[in-house]
Chains A and B, each alone.
Chain A
Amino acid sequence: MPVEIDIAHVARLARLGLTEPELDHYRDQLAVILEHAARVQELEGEPDVDVTHPLGVVNAFRPDEVRTSLDREEVLGQAPEARDGYFVVPPALEL
């Protein structure tokens, strides 16, 4: 089944700032891959499932204990931009 793909919307959701030609290129490739992937729809009669851990691991929790945090200078040292102990980014759109 041919699938319709609003590639610009998908790229926006994924925060990928692609050019028009790039978008067209990826739309075509996705169409081919999805047509193959759509074969999953050949399977019938499987109930809705939450695929669980193969070894049935459940209730894996940790005690409420404090562990030492990272050194701030080491952390901020990896940041493209930091100031006064903060990470810095350009302003958010809505403000």
Chain B
Amino acid sequence: MEESPSKEQTPDLKSMLKKLSAGASYRRMLAAREQGKPICVASAAVPVEVLYAMDVYPVFPESLAAIAAGIRKAEEFFEAAREKGFSNSVCSYTRCGLGIAWTQKSAFGPIPEPDLFITDVSVCCLHVTWWAYLEDHFKKPTFYMDMPATDDPWDPDYVAYYEEQIRAMVRFIEENTSSRLSMEKLKEAVRNSDLAGLYWKKILELRQDRPSPVSFRSLAGEILPLVTALGDKDCADFYWALYESYKQQASQGYCPAQGGERFRLIWNGIPIWHHLQVITYFEEKGANFVWEPYTALSWGNKTPSGRLDAENPFHTLAEKYTNVLTNMPLERRFGYFDQAIRDYKVDGLVMFSNRSCRPQSIGQDEVVEMVRDAHGLPVLIFEGDQADAEGFSMQEAKTRIDGFLEVLEGRKRS
């Protein structure tokens, strides 16, 4: 399979960044509306390649919620949720996402009225209730990409069921819009997605270098097109350019950890979007994150081969999207940590116990137990929320990080 998006020179990273930034995505959405393309409120893990191939413009409430939290503009959406009777114990993405839907505003400006709602229920059960609310409240055609709870996502019957769900999603879009699927366009979208995933994987592999040239804080922003823009050639070009940039940095010995990379860490969980400076603080203290399940296992080409087969687009997408980490037994999840600790020469773990994300947080203590038994590594556990800053104290976080780093330092000396 071809391993570069084109025979041309590596695209300029800065210009690619401009094309794929969150603000640019917003402007493209407005342009899509101008052109009469359907706009769909889609959940994370909807096969976005299909939407791209069908000229349906997706809006991702979770991404918008993360961005709003990142620039501290989420509070008005949380307030809107409170006024509607939503308890604070409900997932902050959901509350913020619904706030965005009610107000039809985003961090970048007003959001056009959507035409469709599609969710993928693999990520969490709340996706069902959330989209059921959207359907009920806004009275728009809604499709549920059904993925029943399982602890064996590799079962061929299960993958086949999901493959049929993708086909059903295509029928749903065709029945409710003027969009029609072109198989050639879908294959092209899958090829582009494959290349984006391939370069993403290569970027992550660079982190095995010592020092790792990649900052988790940067990756947390750079992952956005992998969630929202798969299928687009620009997306593949972006990750190609990004890989080349990181490769160059690696050859120059660049390291985001200040004063050199003293500690190599794993971060488990979604980034704390409202306080990404937590990651920066680690880097300021010489600690560098080198592996995260969020970046390594949640996005990209998650098929058994690590590549997407553009000639069998429905099947390959089914294999990719059914491969959900939280649908795997804890021993299997530990297996990924075990391998990463060896491959990436890890010194310690930071586990984010995220109030909003039950699927990611439940079982975390057991994984920690297995890691401690197998590797004896120090573990720092944070409790907080991915998007809602209420109750979070940066000062308290710094104190805990300092203590953790002292433990790591002590182990280095001994």
- A joins B in a complex: no
Residues of B within 8 A of A (CB): none
